[in-house]
Structure 1
Amino acid sequence: MKAVLTGHTHGLGEALAATLRARGIPVLGLARGRSPQPDDDGFTQVALDLADAAVLARWLAGDALSRFVAAADRVLLINNAGTLGPVAPAGRQGATAIAQAVALNVAAPLALTDALVATAAHASERRIVHISSGAAHTPYAGWSIYCATKAALDQHARAAALDAPAGTRIVSLAPGVIDTAMQAQIRATPLADFPNRARFEALQRDGALLSPADCARRLVDYLLSERFGAEPVADLRTALP
């Protein structure tokens, strides 16, 4: 078994990389930067700007992905990389920021899913998880781009599950509210841009945020369980007993 993981350098992605490696699953990490963890037989990093569609397309046209998954009988893809911004009402978001968010949050996961299914066609099983959010179905003022991109992942998983080849399972998964840099970014957002800020300040104050390590452990448990793929859209807080 091998795993391809995006956004592995911090937050939940960093915890997922550590959890997978602790369970003996080699990881190919794709992110704009690099983790201080050195590459070895169980960990390979590629510095790749997933928000640049042309850069990602060139990388996928090469053989790095096929070489990584070539000997694997089971392959995992965790589309974890994403961005919260631009956080602002329509009219103050900016075309460039919108395009970059859609590229990173939507186009990259969809392209990687397509490539993984094709490249790992030899494997007996392919499991794909998009890291989604409750914002996919609950609208928040100031988060129209984030909400829209996460909803796109949910709908992609629903549709892809209908025509996925045998041995492919796909789930768009809301992991819960995690104590990461994104939460700090939310709490630092001006109220004029994000009126719901007080709710997230209360989550931190009340100790209601999940640690990345605990979330990663539960997520990998679910990803490897027989329950994975039973529904194409799931919430990690209720996905396991």
Structure 2
Amino acid sequence: MRYFIITGTSRGIGESLARILLNDENNQVICISRGMSENLNFQSGLKPVNVFNFSFDLNNLSDIESLFQSVFSFINEDNVDSIYLINNAGILSPIGPIEETISEDVIRNINVNLIAPILLTSHFIKYTKNWKIDKRVLNISSGSAKYLLPSQSPYSTAKAGLDSFTKSIYIEQKEEPFPVKVASVYPGVIDTKLQTEIRSTSKEKFPYVELFNQLYVEGKLQTPLETAEKLIQLLMSSDYGKETLVEELTQM
């Protein structure tokens, strides 16, 4: 069996990833999110043995270790051919000049976008350290890590940190006898809740809001499903992990 641990599956890219993977009866999908997608509830009802759902807020950093204890209690090592972690969950807010942000919002942003993926990856590597199988981590980053805009400093900083973390883990793992392959990817501009949040922001708080409204009006946003298909093709490719930062997510 192939096991996929995915965060942020209640909507958007994460939900689409899970839906695609559940079409293969050889896949076991472990979903981690604050809420459960109605679409996945329906689909999991068709294949109850192929999906496990964990309701969890990644802002609760101190509970991530116990979360992974629960996750791996569902995994029989003797039945695992390969295992993958997709750090997909992310939040955009707060949007605005840094002096106008609320401290709790900044902390939550960094927790969910950076510290939680670090801890999840750490536990994933720890639990699978001696497993002689294909092991991979895919970190969903953002072009905002490289192409900076005003009013998104916590988000951009967290994603830049995620990219650096990915590169560091690659250096660590390449010397291991049973290494975990890792890559960070910029998925592109996608029609998700984050984009809706950007478009609803005032020009006073985010001067580039009209640019994002124009992309939406002109139909230049990728769908979550299209993006998820490309991400899975990237994750399952034979060259995965040779390039630690994938800035252009193209059809494989």
Whether TM exceeds 0.5 here: the answer is yes
> What amino acid does structure 1 have at the position aligned with 2:144?
A
Contact preservation (8 Å) 1:3, 1:76: yes
Distance 2:24 2:205 in 1: 41
Distance 2:76 2:99 in 1: 44
Q: 1:20, CA displacement in angstroms?
A: 1.2
Distance 1:48 1:34 in 2: 10
* Equivalent in 61, 65, 75 of residue 72 of structure 2: 65
Q: 1:57, CA displacement in angstroms?
A: 3.2
Return 5+ residue gaps in structure 1 as ranges: none
> What amino acid does structure 2 have at the position aligned with 1:155?
S
Question: Residue in 1 aligned with 2:226?
Answer: 214
Question: Residue in 2 aligned with 1:147?
Answer: 156
Instruction: State percent identity of aligned pairs.
Output: 28
2:11 paired with 1:2: no
> What amino acid does structure 1 have at the position aligned with 2:35?
G
2:49 paired with 1:41: yes
Question: Residue in 2 aligned with 1:204?
Answer: 216
SS of the residue 1:29 aligns to? strand
Q: 1:190, CA displacement in angstroms?
A: 1.0
Q: Counterparts in 2 of 1:114-153, with a 5 A limit?
A: 114-121=122-129, 122-153=131-162
Question: Residue in 1 aligned with 2:199?
Answer: 187
Return 5+ residue gaps in structure 2 as ranges: none
Contact preservation (8 Å) 1:48, 1:55: no
Compared CA separation, residues 82 and 108, structure 1 to 2 (3 A): same
* Equivalent in 27, 30, 49 of residue 29 of structure 2: 27
What RMSD over aligned residues (CA atoms) do the two structures have, in Å?
A: 1.5
Question: Residue in 2 aligned with 1:172?
Answer: 184
TM-score, normalised to structure 2, is: 0.90
Distance 1:188 1:59 in 2: 34
Compared CA separation, residues 181 and 113, structure 1 to 2 (3 A): same
1:188-217 Cα offsets, whole Å, 9 max, x none, are 011111111111111111111111111111
Aligned length: 239
> What amino acid does structure 1 have at the position aligned with 2:189?
V
1:117-145 Cα offsets, whole Å, 9 max, x none, are 11123141211011000001111100000
2:167 paired with 1:158: yes
> What amino acid does structure 2 have at the position aligned with 1:215?
T
* Equivalent in 89, 92, 97 of residue 84 of structure 1: 92
TM-score, normalised to structure 1, is: 0.94
Distance 2:169 2:226 in 1: 29
Contact preservation (8 Å) 1:136, 1:147: yes
